[in-house]
């Protein structure tokens, strides 16, 4: 299974959702992946604030499964590009315009011997913006995630992770300082289906129900609010090629992927 190094986008905050199924990560795919082209079609979806019709993202990987290039277009208009350069246990992520790297916008990531990202520092226009630090157990499972916007790198604990006896993620705690804690847990069924339970700081609950087929491939996710995503058209490595996200009263977002592999 190819390893995807999870990195911070220069202006992106972390999500509290567990995503226990790798297949819910849009740029994830099993096998010797060379490139993933993703097209999201919003023609049948009304989000109330955007006229966006098509968003395209292109992720390119090296032969070791490491992300080396990431590009996004909205309605064929260039939005951003990130270029990844690897050297020993360091990865430098640079923001780029259509033709050249933008000076001063970059992220420095450090990995351990297993390829797990353990720290990152992000700079905008040459100035420190944010940093993080991740702790792993002896099995390589992420256990704690810390973050800081302090130049002196005084980290604060943001997430903790727990796993079951099979090594599957079972619970996360998201610590929102001054607001409380968000808790997410996963219940696995013998048939391969599973459910994520989310409780926010006010005690409101939400469920995400995941359903797999007889090959163990994720085919549907259902939300408490009746929203759902359907995955279909699997390729030779079992990776989904199309998904439909159905949002009540708003419409359908169709996502199609073209996955190219190293031979």
Which pLDDT tens digit goes with each residue over 85-95?
Answer: 999 899 999 99
Tell me the C-alpha to C-alpha distance, in Å, between residue 129 and each of 79, 95, 116, 133, 156. Answer: 21, 14, 22, 14, 15
Number of domains in the chain: 1
Residue 155 lies in a domain: yes
pTM for the model = 0.87
Residue 231 lies in a domain: no
Give 172-199 pLDDT, tens digit per residue: 999 887 778 999 999 999 999 999 999 9
Check the CA dihedral 108-112-115-118 and report its sign: negative
DSSP code at position 141: -
Cα(48)–Cα(128) distance, integer angstroms:
35
Residue 9 lies in a domain: no
Residue 30 lies in a domain: yes
* Confidence at residue 9, expressed as pLDDT on a 0 to 100 scale: 34
Q: Which domain holds residue 149?
A: 22-176+241-261
Residue 7 pLDDT > 70: no
Q: Which of 58-62, 202-206, 219-223, 239-243 has the lowest mean pLDDT?
A: 202-206
Cα(153)–Cα(8) distance, integer angstroms:
17
Q: What is the pLDDT averaged over residues 187-215?
A: 94
* Confidence at residue 11, expressed as pLDDT on a 0 to 100 scale: 33
* Confidence at residue 99, expressed as pLDDT on a 0 to 100 scale: 79
CB 155 within 8 A of CB 146: yes
Residue 137 pLDDT > 60: yes
Return the HEC string of 201-256: CCCCEEEEEEEECCCCCEEEEEECCCCEEEEEEECCCCCEEEEEEEECCCEEEEEE
Residue 162 lies in a domain: yes
DSSP code at position 65: S
Residue 189 lies in a domain: no
* Confidence at residue 263, expressed as pLDDT on a 0 to 100 scale: 87
Cα(11)–Cα(137) distance, integer angstroms:
28
């Amino acid at each position: 299974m190819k390893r995807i190094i999870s990195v911070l986008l220069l202006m992106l905050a972390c999500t509290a959702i567990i995503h226990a199924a790798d297949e819910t990560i849009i740029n994830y795919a099993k096998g010797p992946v060379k490139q993933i082209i993703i097209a999201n079609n919003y023609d049948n979806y009304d989000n109330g604030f955007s006229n966006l019709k098509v968003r395209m993202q292109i992720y390119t990987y090296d032969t070791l499964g490491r992300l080396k290039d990431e590009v996004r277009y909205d309605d064929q208009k260039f939005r951003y590009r990130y270029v990844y350069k690897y050297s020993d246990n360091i990865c430098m992520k640079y923001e780029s315009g259509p033709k050249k790297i933008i000076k001063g916008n970059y992220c420095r990531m450090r990995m351990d011997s297993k390829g797990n990202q353990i720290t990152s520092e992000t700079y905008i226009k040459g100035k420190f913006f944010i940093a993080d630090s991740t702790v792993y157990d002896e099995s390589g499972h992420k256990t704690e995630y810390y973050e800081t916007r302090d130049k002196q790198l005084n980290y604060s604990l943001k997430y903790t992770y727990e796993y079951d006896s099979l090594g599957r993620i079972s619970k996360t705690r998201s610590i929102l300082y001054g607001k409380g804690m968000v808790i997410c847990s996963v219940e696995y069924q013998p048939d391969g289906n599973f459910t994520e339970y989310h409780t926010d700081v006010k005690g409101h609950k939400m469920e995400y129900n995941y359903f797999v087929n007889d090959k163990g491939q994720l085919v549907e996710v259902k939300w408490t609010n009746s929203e759902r995503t359907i995955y279909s058209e699997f390729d030779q490595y079992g990776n989904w090629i199309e998904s439909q996200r159905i949002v009540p009263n708003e419409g359908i977002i169709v996502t199609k992927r073209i996955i190219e592999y190293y031979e």
